[in-house]
Structure 1
Amino acid sequence: MVMKVIKTEKEYQAAMSRLEEIFDSKKDSKTADELELLSLLIEKYEDDTSPIDLPDPIEAIKFRMDQLGFKQKDLAKAIGLKSRVSEILNKKRKLTIDMIRKLHDTLGIPTDVLIKEY
């Protein structure tokens, strides 16, 4: 397959078909480099045509709290009073820069998610 930037859905489908054919290539085989390049081209096309928007920051906080088994009191240790946490989780109070930093450190949520408007 000739490697070139994927610009159309037809080219994308052809690239996906080829990817399926060579997917199980051995690391040092002739098709290993083709597999890697094709994967990058497909990823670029998908990023350009179907960008995924960042999640709502409050929903991200709730999701991560659930994953970690955190309660509001656990979050209060990081960002202040339990009542403040409640206001934030109910979208009645905006996150401050300091809160964003502490949430990033405590929950591991990327700052670009936390600074998004909600």
Structure 2
Amino acid sequence: MDVRLIHTEAEYQAALQKIRALWEAEPGTPAAEELEILVLLVNKFEEENYPIEEPDPIEYIKIRMEELGLKQEDLVPYMGNKGNVSKVLSRKRALSLEMIRKLHRGLRFPLEVLIAEPKLNTL
């Protein structure tokens, strides 16, 4: 097993190829151990070189609404009234602390996403 830290894109691509080749390794074998180490190294490289931006809270709400099959009126219990829902989703009104708490408690939306700075309205 010749496993090293990943420093370049070429090394990253080679590690991904090796992971694909080892994917079906039997647990407890040297190949499975090599696979596990490679996955850790690839994760480290990806975290350092391809960080994932925190999602915009409004976009997150819209995506979750679609995933959960919710309509705007379904958010009224969490945002107070239809006007608030419409204004928040169109970025004309910020989420209030109470809305954030209710969305978190009621729909289990992550607090760290809801409290993030929303992107500016580009309309």
Aligned partner of 2:121 in structure 1 is: none
Deviates more, 1:72-81 or 1:106-115: 106-115
Q: SS at the partner of 2:30? A: coil
Q: SS at the partner of 1:25? A: coil
| Alpha-carbon displacement from aligned partner over 1:37-80 (angstroms, at most 9, x marks no partner) | 11011011011111121222111111111222222221111221
* Counterpart AA for 2:116: K
Decide whether the 8 Å contact of 1:104 with 1:111 is kept in 2: yes
CA RMSD of aligned residues (A): 1.6
Deviates more, 1:76-85 or 1:97-106: 97-106
Aligned partner of 2:31 in structure 1 is: 31
- Mark the runs of 5 or more structure 1 residues left unpaired by the alignment: none
Decide whether the 8 Å contact of 1:64 with 1:107 is kept in 2: no
Aligned partner of 2:92 in structure 1 is: 92
Deviates more, 1:100-109 or 1:18-27: 100-109
Aligned partner of 2:53 in structure 1 is: 53
* Counterpart AA for 1:69: G
Does residue 63 (structure 1) correspond to residue 63 (structure 2)? The answer is yes
Q: How far apart in 2 are the matches of 1:57 and 1:82?
A: 18
Distance 1:24 1:104, change over 3 A: same
* Counterpart AA for 2:14: A
Q: How far apart in 1 are the matches of 2:74 and 2:5?
A: 48
Does residue 114 (structure 1) correspond to residue 118 (structure 2)? The answer is no
